[in-house]
Amino acid sequence: MRTAKIERNTKETEISVEINLDGKGVFDVATGIGFLDHMIEQFSRHSMIDVKCQIKGDLHVDQHHTTEDSAIAIGQAIAQALGDKGGIMRYGSAYSPMDETLSRVALDISGRPYLIWNAAFSQERLGEMDTELFKHWFHSVADSAGLTLHIDLIHGENNHHIAESIFKGFARAMRQAVEIDPRKEGAVPSTKGQLGG
C-alpha cells in the first residue's frame, strides 16, 4: 500500500494528514476554512487519492498558516507514499473545463520543485478564503512533494469556477502521474536511476 501519515505540530498549526495513493477518492477534511475544505475534497475525489486532513490553526490571526501548512503536510505525505517513485508514470496533465472556465495543469514528479502560475482572481475572497492564498497553496504543495507544476488559466470569469477548475485539473494530473505503469516493472522513470537533484 502506498500510504503515508504526517503529524505536524507548530505554534501556528496542529495537523494530521493521511494519504492513500491507491485509494478511491475518499476524504475526511476539516481545516477550519470551508472553501479550502471544499477544494481539498475536490482534489481527493478527482485524483482518487484518499485524503484525511485535520487541522487546528491560528485562524484568529489569519488563514495563511493553516493554508500553507495543509499544503506542506499533504505534499510531504504524497512524497512519502511515493517512496523511490519506482514504476510511476511520473508525468500528468489535464485540461479542466467548468462552464465558462478552462484551466490547464501539467506536472512532473521530478523531485525538483518549481511552480509556474498563470491565473488571477477578480475578487479578494471566496467564502471566507483569501484568493491570494491559492497560489501559495500550490507553491507549498509543489515544494514539499517535489513537483514541477505548471498551472495556466486559459479563460474564466467566475472566481469559484476558476479555483475549482484548477484544483480538479491538479487532481486529474496527479492521478495520471502517480499511476503505476506495469511496463516499467518498478523501474524509476529516469535515465539517471533516481528522481530529484
Q: How far is CA 74 from the centre of its chain?
A: 7
Residue 151 lies in a domain: yes
The values of phi and psi at residue 27, to 5°, are -135, 155
Cα dihedral 35, 29, 97, 81 sign: positive
- Residue for cell digits 516499467? 184
Domain that residue 87 falls in: 3-184
Buried b (16+ CB within 10 A) or exposed e, 128-159: ebbbebbbbbbbbbbbbbbbbbbbbbeebeeb
Does pLDDT of 174 surpass 70?
yes
pLDDT of residue 197: 56
Residue 177 lies in a domain: yes
Indicate the pLDDT class of residue 45, thresholds 50, 70 and 90. very high
pLDDT of residue 182: 87
- The pLDDT tens digits of the residues spanning 93-119 come to 999 999 999 999 999 999 999 999 999
- Per the structure, the count of domains in the chain is 1
C-alpha cell at 121: 482572481
pLDDT of residue 194: 60
Residue 134 lies in a domain: yes
CATH assignment at residue 172: 3.30.230.40
